[in-house]
Amino acid sequence: MTTVREAVYELFRARGMTTMFGNPGSTELPMLHDFPEDFRYVLGLQEAVVVGMADGYAQASGKPTLVNLHTAPGIGNAMGAIFNAQANKSPLVITAGQQVRAMITLQANLTDRDATRVPHPFVKWSYEPPRAQDVPLALARATHVASLPPRGPAFVSIPMDDWRAEVDDGDVGHAIARSVTGRAAADPEAVRSLADRLAAAKDPAMVAGPDVDASGAWEAVVALAERQRVPVWATPAPGGGRIGFPEGHPHFRGTLPPAIGPLGQMLEGHDLVLVLGTSIFPYYPYIPGPLLPEGTELVAVTSDPDEAARAPMGDAIVADVKLTAEALLAAVPEADRPAPEPLGEPQAPPESDPLSPSTVHAALGEALPDDAIIVLESPSSTMALRNQLRLSRPGSYYFGAGGGLGFGLAAAVGVQLAQPSRPVVCVMGEGSVQYAVTAFWSAVAYEVPVTFLVLRNEEYSILKWFADTEQVTDPPGLQLPALDTAEIAAGYRLKSRRVAGLEELRSELSAAIPSSQPELIEVGVAPGMALF
């Protein structure tokens, strides 16, 4: 006979899930008993950081990723990060401990009396097995649910006395051996008709979103754009958690604005817009206007049925983005349209005192190796970074599509753990750092060589911009004087310094990025929204 604990680790091992992100409590210790040597446990000091690290790891590795949370209060702390993970379509298998079965009904201390209800709105499946013997099958099911499109978190609550229970070897053998695949090809008729519409269009355009990157469709999408000579936009930045097209490519047109009216106007002149791997569209703020210009049709390809169903305009095909892009590529002829006009090089703004965020990002662009990965959470300089850097490799950019702060700092650690051979630079606003500040400890403890670049503008700049657009005058709570990130990070034993001018910034960046230890550079910048 095998114990639940042995069966579960065997299951995780068979799925390649040997890294676990967690913050333990007494209710989780039985799961961690005799922790197997071929597994790695990454400790986060608060649950939002645990989930954020796992989110980055899951996205950058493409694998379902284990999270172990403490019962009710631990799950509560994690909820904002779980919200982010579902927006990022991160395949997380989240477990939490629960009181022993014999004391759940009398509601002993630490009982999570509604364990499955708490994470419910943000996970694809939330479950507490009725019997200890069902724990391996429940975790197998959670892994499949998390990995099937659209990917996302699944949750299992596990009473702490279940781990020593015995399970039937035959049943467990089946649960471990099963494979479930979920990449669905599009209806060939739908592909044929879309290929005909694309080839017949006078001036088509494409929009690439995060699922191009997540599904590995990058090459097929580039080949399709080249064969059909189509310009390509990136989906609006707030929901574009990943980049789906090389931004240094001559067909790249830039990032679409995130509001209904301006986005519609931007598509003026295109008779067909092919949208790949994004919702239609991650709009915010609300600036009304026509969804599409007169005479413009739109077709979306997404593996997410809900994304397809809730789109306010256009047609949609629900299918794997990579398989569909490859099928379209095979079905369209070489077009004889004129090639799209290239965007031109980004213009680096001159040095100022304090530096503008655009100058900082231009300096970052100079120092950045081609294989670098950016994890971004610097709200008022998101567009400046996108416009100054032309990231052009798959898996080069991670941004919290849910908008909940706390993703960036933690996710950067997870991304670097999943991609140890690529340099990771985490670009943060000093306000955003505070939502996941203990990720500094994990970076140091596990020697994860992320370079943290923190822009200090002593305020919540983006909220001042929002206040203007919402016609709100003088709201309180938007100033951040005396928040000294380099000092705070030094308290976590992170090598940290504060730089002033451009020359110092350049030399510190070129020293920190290739370094084999985590390092932090804090740079003072001018407040305000930075777009270019």
Ligand X SMILES: Cc1ncc(C[n+]2csc(CCOP(=O)(O)OP(=O)(O)O)c2C)c(N)n1
Q: Which residues bind ligand X (CB under 6 A)?
A: 80, 378-381, 403-406, 429-432, 435, 457, 459-463
Distance CA 186, CA 319 (A): 5
* Least gap, CB of 295 to ligand X (angstroms): 37
Edge-to-edge strands of the sheet including 424-429? 397-399, 373-377, 424-429, 451-456, 519-524, 495-499
* Least gap, CB of 216 to ligand X (angstroms): 30
* Least gap, CB of 436 to ligand X (angstroms): 10
The closest alpha carbon to 505, from 367, 349, 350, 347, belongs to 367
* Least gap, CB of 18 to ligand X (angstroms): 31
For ligand X, the closer of residues 236 and 277 by Cβ is 236
Q: Radius of gyration (Cα) for the chain, nearest Å?
A: 24
- Look-up: residue for tokens 């940290």? 496
CA 249 to chain centre: 23
Q: DSSP label at 83?
A: H
* Least gap, CB of 406 to ligand X (angstroms): 6
* Least gap, CB of 117 to ligand X (angstroms): 22
For ligand X, the closer of residues 445 and 480 by Cβ is 480
For ligand X, the closer of residues 270 and 361 by Cβ is 361
Secondary structure (DSSP) of 264-292? HHHTTT-SEEEEESS-S----S-----SS
* Least gap, CB of 165 to ligand X (angstroms): 39
- For residue 285, whether the previous peptide bond is cis, meaning omega lies within 30 degrees of 0, is yes
State phi, psi for 428 to the nearest 5 degrees: -130, 145
Strands 297-302 and 373-377: unpaired
Q: Does residue 18 contact residue 40 with C-beta atoms inside 8 Å?
A: yes
Q: Return the residue nearest ligand X (CB atom).
A: 429
Distance CA 424, CA 368 (A): 10
